[in-house]
Amino acid sequence: DADVTQTPRNRITKTGKRIMLECSQTKGHDRMYWYRQDPGLGLRLIYYSFDVKDINKGEISDGYSVSRQAQAKFSLSLESAIPNQTALYFCATGGDNTGELFFGEGSRLTVL
């Protein structure tokens, strides 16, 4: 089983709908991240969290919210999805002693 699991892996939705992407990890890491990938742009940081009481905005947080339900769970929500939020979304976790990050398999979201 993957150490970092994302659900759903693929989702097609309509403009204006609320969408939640979920991430869970078995690595025991405190740090968790949500990234977005668009073609030709690499990955950009949306939100990150140090622990269940710590939430921080990243480079492109507008239009997104997150919830850290437990050390192992970090969910990303789009309250009212729009077409330019069509992208591949990645969750990642980071250990406390190094900066090394470990990524989930990605969630492909299409907003029509």
The CA distance from 107 to 96, in Å, is 25
Binding to another protein (CB under 8 A) within 51-80 occurs at 56, 58
The CA distance from 112 to 105, in Å, is 23
Q: Identify residue 19 by its one-letter amino acid code.
A: I
- Tell how strand 10-13 and strand 107-111 pair up: parallel
In this structure, the dihedral spanned by the alpha carbons of residues 37, 109, 16 and 76, taken in order and rounded to 10 degrees, is -70
Contact 33, 100 (CB under 8 A): no
What is the nearest approach in angstroms of another protein to the Cβ of residue 33? 5
Residue from 21, 23, 35, 76 binding another protein (CB under 8 A): 35
94 near another protein, rule: CB under 8 A: yes
What is the nearest approach in angstroms of another protein to the Cβ of residue 98? 7
Options 14-22, 65-73, 77-85, 95-103: segment touching another protein (CB under 8 A): 95-103
Sites of contact with another protein (CB under 8 A): 31, 33, 35, 40-45, 48, 50, 56, 58, 88, 90, 92, 94, 98-103, 105-106, 108
